[in-house]
Every structure is written in C-alpha cells, then in structure tokens.
Amino acid sequence: MALGVEWGLSWLRSHGGYRKQEGQRQRGQGTPIWALPRAKKRLLWQLLLTAFGFLGLYLYRLGSLRSLEVFIPMGICPRATMPLLRDNFTGVLRHWARPEVLTCTSWAAPIIWDGTFDPQVAEQEARRQNLTIGLTVFAVGRYLEKYLEHFLDSAEQHFMVGQSVVYYVFTDRPEAVPYMTLGQGRLLRVERVPQENRWQDVSMARMRTLHEALGGQLGQEADYVFCLDVDQHFTSNFGPETLADLVAQLHAWHYHWPRWLLPYERDKRSAAALSFGEGDFYYHAALFGGSVAALRKLTAHCALGQQLDSERGVEAIWHDESHLNKFFWLYKPTKVLSPEFCWDLQIGWRTEIHTPRLLWEPKEYALVRN
C-alpha cells in the first residue's frame, strides 16, 4: 500500500499540481488536500482505494487468488511414453481415465491418480510377493498427544489393509504411546529417540534415525517402507499401488507452479541447493517411501547434507524437505504420487482431486512447537 500512495503522490508531483504546493509548504503555506482541484482529489482517492483494495486482496483473499493456479497446465504424458508405464504393482495404467492431469514424468515414471490403477491388482500382487510393509512415524514432544492416536487409528483402517504391516513409532516417551489393538498380521514397535531443542532439529534428525533403523531390525523385517509425518491421517484406501523402489509425493500446495517459483533451497552454500534451471517437481517430505535399499541411500544422502550444512553454519530453507528435493533431483523417483495421496483441505475444492487418501491436520504450531 505504501508503494501505491507513494506512486500516487509522485505522479501528482510529476504532473505539476503538487509541485507548487510542495514549494509553498516549505515556506509554511502548503495547500491542504481539501483545497486541491476536484479532479486531482478524485484521482488521489482512487489511488488510495486501489492500494487498500490490493492490500486487502493480498491479506485476506489470497486463497481465492491461489485457486486460479489450476489454470496453469500440468502438461500431459506423451503417447509414446504411456505403454512404458507399468510396474509390478499397478499393472497397466489407465491414462485415458485422467486426461486432465499429468500422469507420467519426463523419465517415464508413473504419476498415479485415482482411476488410473486397479487397487485389486496391486493387492493381489503384494500378497503374492508376501511382502511386509513398514510405516515409520515420529511423535516427539507434544506431537505425540496431539496426533499419534488418530494417525495410527486411521492407518489401521486404510493403510495396506490385508497386508503384513509393521509400524515403527519413534518418540521421546515410549510409555505415553497409546495402546492399540491391531489387525491380524500387523504389529507396532516403539523406539526411543531424544527430544531436541528446536522442532527443526526433530524434523531433520529423522533422516539419521531412519537410516540407522533401516540398517537394523526395520530393514530386516520390511520389504518396502513409507516414512510419514504424524500431523495427518488416512481417509481412504492407501494400498500397494503406491509401492515402488523409490516413491515421492507431489506437494499439494505446489504441483501447478512453474519450476522457477518452487521453494527449493537456493543458497549455494547449502548441500540442498538447486539452481533455477534445476528441479522437476516440488516433493513433500511428509511422505516418501521405497525399498529398504533405496531408502538407505536417500536417508544417508539427506543426513549427510544436513551435517555438511550444520558444519558450514547454514540451514536449508525447508530443512529435511529441501535435502529430500535435492536427492529426488539427483536420483529420480520410480513412482510419484499425485496430491490426492496427501492433500490439504485448506487449499479448497479442486475438481482434479477425487479421493484424498491422507489429509493434513490443521497446522497448530503454537500448540505443538517449542
């Protein structure tokens, strides 16, 4: 707004009427606003109102402005690539079911959307392979009471139903983890981790802890693992169609944005830095997954990047998520999940979001963060 007023005043000055007044004011005899000619007064008011209008729109109506981003096209999957897009779990993908969204990456990995896969094919395939699927989650400090029970309850209803599942809960207070009755073939292990001074450190420490766990019991008992934030809950079937060697999640807030606008780390001193020509998509650190071997590599890369940054006294803008995005730029995911798999209701209604599988909890940072 200040800019608008300043611009308005300088326009008046440069167009004559105000210059004289400025000179007079220096001598203590300035023309007050009410003494300005009518046309100029009207113009001044128009400028002020426009400036206020833009400020109001910016502060309160940004949501409605943001919904215009759906008109930024995501691109389409080339016909020649489509037959290549299949994997052990989804079988042939039905691209024609979702012509309005991007269903593959430029390196021919599928981006799976509701309707493009047959969940039963994936379920049968996972059972045939007799898989165990790990689900890791951290609940440190107040995140435990606030989110963990709902997260686990919803996972029991929707996560890999009918498969062997092992939950790994990492917490600073194992004794406070709620007792849960689990379905057949499902078990829960609790591991103690230290509380950190800052929430950012809890978030980043996950990479090293996961790396160690994947090298230990978790890595021995699970074939594939998903690593999730706790501040979300499952709302619909999240099954083996999501499995692949390396799985990334499109960030619900950024999947329509042009690449140069994506919130990658740009500071070259950070190991997570991407320059303006780099990056494919912006991926969400609240959900990533893959085979044990692939995740060992991912967590090693991110933990090392974070350590190098801390030795240099820098911290990536979005912490572990920045390092994860760097990793996925260097080592492409073999499957990408559409934002339907991890959606935020705050974004509002979108025709392309059919069945959200996971929903973000409302952010209540004042309650849960130090």
3-state helix, strand, coil in the chain (%, to 5): 45, 15, 40
Verify binding: residue 262, ligand UDP, rule CB under 6 A.
no
Q: Which is nearer to Mn ion, 125 or 321 (CB)?
A: 321
What residue 110 binds from ligand UDP, Mn ion, none (CB within 5 to 8 A, per partner kind)?
Answer: none
What residue 138 binds from ligand UDP, Mn ion, none (CB within 5 to 8 A, per partner kind)?
Answer: ligand UDP
Minimum distance, C-beta of residue 321 to Mn ion, in the bound complex (Å) = 10
Q: Which residue sits closest to ligand UDP, CB atoms considered? A: 229
What residue 140 binds from Mn ion, ligand UDP, none (CB within 5 to 8 A, per partner kind)?
Answer: ligand UDP
- What is residue 192's three-state secondary structure? strand
- Tokens 């039905």 belong to residue: 94
Count of H-run helices and E-run strands, the chain: 12, 12
Exactly one of 140, 165, 205, 353 binds ligand UDP (CB under 6 A); which one? 140
Q: Which residues pair with 225 in a beta bridge?
A: 134, 290
The residue from 125, 241, 315, 321 that is catalytic is: 321
What residue 339 binds from Mn ion, ligand UDP, none (CB within 5 to 8 A, per partner kind)?
Answer: none
Q: Which is nearer to Mn ion, 231 or 315 (CB)?
A: 231
Exactly one of 1, 88, 129, 199 binds ligand UDP (CB under 6 A); which one? 199
Verify binding: residue 265, ligand UDP, rule CB under 6 A.
no
Q: How far apart (Å, rounded) are the C-alpha atoms in residues 264 and 262?
A: 6
Dmax of the chain from CA atoms? 92
Could you give the dihedral angle defined by the CA atoms of residues 336, 338, 340 and 344, in that order, rounded to the nearest 10 degrees?
90
Q: Which is nearer to Mn ion, 41 or 363 (CB)?
A: 363
Tell me the window of 22-30, 126-134, 135-143, 244-252 that interacts with ligand UDP (CB under 6 A). 135-143
DSSP for 65-102, please give it.
HHGGGGGS------TTTGGG-EETTTEE--GGG-TTS-
Tell me the window of 17-25, 44-52, 136-144, 328-336 that interacts with ligand UDP (CB under 6 A). 136-144
Verify binding: residue 231, ligand UDP, rule CB under 6 A.
yes
Is the CB of residue 338 less than 8 Å from the CB of residue 98? Answer: no
Is the CB of residue 136 less than 8 Å from the CB of residue 165? Answer: no
Q: Is 321 a catalytic residue?
A: yes
x/- string (CB under 5 A) for Mn ion, residues 214-253? ---------------x-x----------------------
- What does R_g of the chain's alpha carbons equal in angstroms? 26
What residue 203 binds from ligand UDP, Mn ion, none (CB within 5 to 8 A, per partner kind)?
Answer: ligand UDP
Exposed, middle or buried by CB within 10 Å (0-12, 13-18, 19+), for 157? middle
Is the CB of residue 288 less than 8 Å from the CB of residue 249? Answer: yes
Minimum distance, C-beta of residue 139 to ligand UDP, in the bound complex (Å) = 5
Q: Which is nearer to ligand UDP, 213 or 286 (CB)?
A: 286
Minimum distance, C-beta of residue 360 to ligand UDP, in the bound complex (Å) = 8
DSSP for 255-318, please give it.
TTS-GGGS-----TTSTT---TT--S-PEEEEEEEEEHHHHHHHHHHHHHHHHHHHHHT---TT
- Catalytic sites, residue numbers: 321
Residues that bind ligand UDP (CB under 6 A): 137-141, 143, 199, 202-203, 229-231, 286, 363
